[in-house]
Structure 1
Amino acid sequence: MARFEQTPLEAQAHLLDTGAPVTAVLAEADVLVSAHGDGTLRMFEPGKPDRVIQAHRGAVLALCADRDAGAVLSGGDDGRMVRTTLEGHSDCLASFGRHWVEHVAASRASGWRACSAGRAVHIWRQGVRHADVLEHPSTVGGMALDARGRRVAVAHYGGVTVHERGKRGYRPIKLAFSGSHLGVTFSPDGRFVISSMQENMLRGWRLGDRADLRMAGYPTKVHGLRWVGTLPWLATTGAGFAVCWPFDGRDGPMDRPPRTVAEGRGQIATCVAGVSGADIVFTGFEDGAVLFAELSAGGEDRVVRGSTGVAVSAMGVTPDLRWLLIGDEAGLLCHLPLRAAQGI
Structure 2
Amino acid sequence: MLGLDLSLFKRDVLNERWNISLEEHIIDMAWSPDMSHLVAATAEGRIILIDNYGDSAAYKQIGEHALGANSVSWRPDGLQFASSGQDGKVQVWDGVTGKLLQLIDADNDWVAKATYHPQRPILAIAAGRSFKCWTETEGIIYESADHASTIADIGWSPDGSAVAVAAYNGVTLHYPVQQSEPRKYQWKGSSLLLTWSPDAKYIATGEQDSTVHFWDVNSGTDAQMSGFSTKVLELSWHSSGQWLATGGGNTICIWDCRGNGPTGREPQYLRYHFDKVTQIAYQPSGHYLASADIDEFLLLWEPEKHDKIISATSLSAPATCIRWTTKGDILAVGQQDGVIETFLIKNAHV
* TM-score relative to the length of structure 2: 0.87
Contact 1:241–1:262 (CA<8 Å) still a contact in 2?
yes
Q: Does 1:2 align with 2:8?
A: no
Q: Measure, in 2, the Cα distance between the counterparts of 1:70 and 1:140.
A: 28
Q: Measure, in 1, the Cα distance between the counterparts of 2:256 and 2:137.
A: 38
SS in 1 for 2:140: coil
Q: Measure, in 2, the Cα distance between the counterparts of 1:102 and 1:94.
A: 14
Q: Deviations over 1:127-149 (max 9, x none)?
A: 64433111212211111110121
Letter in 1 for 2:303: L
Which has the larger displacement, 126-135 or 33-42? 126-135
Partner of 1:139: 150
Q: Measure, in 1, the Cα distance between the counterparts of 2:73 and 2:276.
A: 25
Q: Measure, in 1, the Cα distance between the counterparts of 2:348 and 2:152.
A: 40
SS in 1 for 2:111: coil
Which of the numbers 16, 20, 23 marks the counterpart of 1:19? 23
CA shift at 1:343, angstroms? 4.0
Which has the larger displacement, 4-13 or 25-34? 4-13
Which has the larger displacement, 22-31 or 274-283? 22-31
Contact 1:262–1:293 (CA<8 Å) still a contact in 2?
no
Contact 1:25–1:32 (CA<8 Å) still a contact in 2?
yes
Q: Measure, in 2, the Cα distance between the counterparts of 1:116 and 1:220.
A: 25
CA shift at 1:13, angstroms? 4.7
Contact 1:230–1:276 (CA<8 Å) still a contact in 2?
no
Backbone CA RMSD of aligned residues: 2.6
Q: Does 1:278 align with 2:289?
A: no
Q: Does 1:34 align with 2:40?
A: yes
Q: Measure, in 1, the Cα distance between the counterparts of 2:252 and 2:93.
A: 32
Give the direction of change, closer, same or farther, for the CA distance of 1:91–1:241 in structure 2 (3 Å limit). Answer: farther
Partner of 2:253: 243
Contact 2:15–2:345 (CA<8 Å) still a contact in 1?
no
Q: Which consecutive residues of structure 1, in runs of 5 or more, have no partner in the other structure?
A: none
Partner of 2:340: 333
Which has the larger displacement, 226-235 or 216-225? 226-235
Letter in 1 for 2:160: G
Q: Measure, in 2, the Cα distance between the counterparts of 1:68 and 1:257.
A: 41
Give the direction of change, closer, same or farther, for the CA distance of 1:74–1:150 in structure 2 (3 Å limit). Answer: same
Moved over 6 A (4+): none
Q: Deviations over 1:293-314 (max 9, x none)?
A: 0021325313332254x32111
Which of the numbers 311, 316, 326 marks the counterpart of 1:319? 326
SS in 1 for 2:228: coil
Q: Which consecutive residues of structure 2, in runs of 5 or more, have no partner in the other structure?
A: none
Contact 2:198–2:241 (CA<8 Å) still a contact in 1?
no
Which of the numbers 261, 273, 277 marks the counterpart of 1:252? 261
Letter in 1 for 2:289: V
Give the direction of change, closer, same or farther, for the CA distance of 1:227–1:127 in structure 2 (3 Å limit). Answer: farther
SS in 2 for 1:130: strand
Contact 2:27–2:70 (CA<8 Å) still a contact in 1?
yes
Q: Does 1:65 align with 2:74?
A: yes
Letter in 2 for 1:276: P
CA shift at 1:328, angstroms? 1.2
Q: Measure, in 2, the Cα distance between the counterparts of 1:293 and 1:57.
A: 36
CA shift at 1:115, angstroms? 0.6
Which has the larger displacement, 1-10 or 50-59? 1-10
Q: Measure, in 1, the Cα distance between the counterparts of 2:15 and 2:159.
A: 42
Contact 2:118–2:156 (CA<8 Å) still a contact in 1?
no
* TM-score relative to the length of structure 1: 0.88
Percentage identity across paired residues of the two chains: 21
Which has the larger displacement, 101-110 or 207-216? 101-110
Partner of 2:112: 102
Letter in 1 for 2:202: F
Q: Does 1:148 align with 2:149?
A: no
Q: Deviations over 1:190-220 (max 9, x none)?
A: 2222221111111121122211110222111
